[in-house]
Amino acid sequence: MAAIPDHDVVHGAEHAHDHHPTGLMRWLTTTNHKDIGTLYLWFSFIMFLTGGVMALTIRAELFQPGLQVVNPEFFNQLTTMHGLVMVFGAIMPAFVGFANWQIPMMIGAPDMAFARMNNWSFWLLPPAALLLITSFFAPGGAAAGGWTFYPPLSVQMGIGMDMMIFAIHILGASSIMGSINIITTILNMRAPGMTLMKMPLFVWTWLITAYLLVLVMPVLAGVVTMLLTDRNFGTNFFNAAGGGDPVLFQHVFWFFGHPEVYIMILPSFGIVSEVIPTFSRKPLFGYSSMVYATASIAILSCIVWAHHMFTAGMPVVGQLFFMYGTMLIAVPTGVKVFNWTATMWRGSMTFETPMLFSIGFIFLFVIGGFSGVVCAIVPIDVQVQDTYYVIAHFHYVLVSGSLFAIFAGAYYWLPKWTGHMYDETLGKWHFWLSMFFFNLTFFVQHFLGLAGMPRRIPDYALQFADFNMISSIGAFGFGTTQLLFLYVVLKCIRGGAKAPQKPWEGAKTLEWTLPSPAPYHSFETPPLVK
């Protein structure tokens, strides 16, 4: 006679099955920080390719003068969507993916503080992305006012604009929840003995970034809500005919928009501060000054917003305040660049792919920083406002800044995440091709801007033809190179050499996921390398 199964045993088996779903349900219901980090990273890469296709369509149109690929209105819709998809869909989710993967492991926490909220903050992203992209197919098409969607233009657009506003609300809610989660995890779940000043710098940069997000995301929500009521409910916040002021929109938007720029670069600083000590075989130079520099950058970023508005009719005193405030940010940024360089100084450096991307990041980010100081000078900014000089400036900060740091972090932690080593040769090809094509694309845009070529236009004078052709060739080369990165990652996930316990062998003096704060340094004595 067969034994009757014990009820509790069966119940326990069912219970276990409930908590370990497989396939699609695993990803939909996961509360594991590593799974959620992986979801963020894949989502961001898909959005990166989506935004990239939009950029390549723009560059195809600009390959030569005249209208050949898309009509002017669709061209403007592409510029709007390219900006929004890259900022909210590609760069920010990638950094949140890194935060999810690494922060609990770096501070010795079992998981993120709010595991279910963590799941929710990711699953808000795909519907928001869908709303953004399907607005192309709405009556009147997607919003065509640029990613800053200034009124009065944005008040007059079709339903695609409302879809965009709704998408921004959802993306903002996701960011705020993710930030609350990160702040709570870092402040409450560190391992015993890990004081704040012993945390890895990546954790510090994310703590500061999360506070910035909690501060400015509600501001963005507020301004798009005001825009929504202007469009649909008869309010006159930004309508001059009804007593409103379109420049008010710019002030509120840029109070969000400028800290947002630093939200996209501070985690990059954290990643680079992890990678460079590892491949220099030295602790990071000036740990505490790095922490204070990061915090001061974040604080200053909240008081310089109107440098985006020098041509919007501002009193001279205001222009001077925002000009000097903007230049002040160069000081803590310079401290960071000095410290990275000092870390490499007299180190036993090797140049694996993460290190190459980090050095590329420093070199090109400094160029972006210099052109930013140029844009901060009021009389110069009045000349280059809304030209390709500004485009070149912020792509040097966001592509060779944020994106290169994301690549550095991905290559650096892939062995940790997958258990396999990636193909080093292909990784180096990815770096050098990206470096070459990036500069081919964007360096010439400085010259276009200085010569007066305005941004967001599908047609241009014959004098700009040569540089535009060079820029478009570079863009297609850069876009194609990123498929190589996809291949490297997939190849690494599927197999390859097994990663050793400490993948970056030679970093023997450092625990590779927990770079310790720097001891006292003397430039006179070279560091000991085992």
Among 30, 33, 44, 82, the one annotated catalytic: 82
Q: Identify the active-site residue in 273, 278, 441, 471.
A: 273
Catalytic residue among 333, 353, 400, 472: 333
Do 294 and 204 contact (CB within 8 A), yes or no?
Answer: yes
Q: Is 333 noted as a catalytic residue in this protein?
A: yes
- C-alpha separations of 507 from 97, 156, 392 in Å: 25, 58, 37
7 is catalytic: no
Give the long-range contacts of residues 154-159, CB within 8 A, separation 24 or more. Answer: 154/227, 154/231, 155/227, 155/230, 155/231, 155/238, 155/239, 159/135
Which tokens hold the place of 139? 């009556």
Query: 147 catalytic, yes or no?
Result: yes
The H or E element containing residue 485 is helix 465-494
| Annotated catalytic residue 371 | no
424 classed as catalytic: no
CA distance 297 to 295: 5
175 is catalytic: yes
Identified catalytic residue from 111, 148, 150, 346 = 111
Question: Which residue among the candidates 254, 262, 388, 389 is catalytic per the annotation?
Answer: 262
| 42 among known catalytic residues | no
**Annotation says 341 is catalytic:** no
Catalytic hit among 27, 42, 120, 147: 147
DSSP string, 326-344: HHHTHHHHHHHHHHHHHHH
User: In the annotation, is 307 catalytic?
Assistant: yes
Active-site hit among 59, 258, 282, 393: 258
CA nearest neighbour of 285 among 338, 364, 206, 358: 338
User: How long a stretch of residues is the chain?
Assistant: 530
Query: Do residues 45 and 87 lie in contact, with contact meaning Cβ atoms separated by under 8 Å?
Result: no
The yes-or-no answer on residue 59 being catalytic is no
Terminus-to-terminus CA distance in the chain, angstroms?
A: 68
CA angle 23, 25, 26 (to 5 degrees): 70
**Of residues 190, 336, 395, 446, which has the active-site annotation?**
336
Query: Is 169 assigned a catalytic role?
Result: no
Q: Directed axis angle between helix 353-376 and helix 424-450, to 10°? A: 10
281, 308, 395, 430: the active-site residue: 308
Give CA–CA dist 142/162, Å, rounded: 9
Among 175, 209, 353, 441, the active-site one is 175
Catalytic residue among 34, 346, 428, 455: 455
Structure tokens at 85: 């998809």
Q: Which one from 61, 230, 260, 381 is the annotated catalytic residue?
A: 260
- Please report the sign of the dihedral spanned by the C-alpha atoms of residue 338, residue 343, residue 347, residue 353: negative
Neighbours of 363 (CB within 10 A): 13
> Active site includes 308?
yes
Residues annotated catalytic, as ranges: 82, 111, 147, 174-175, 258, 260, 262, 273, 307-308, 333, 336, 455
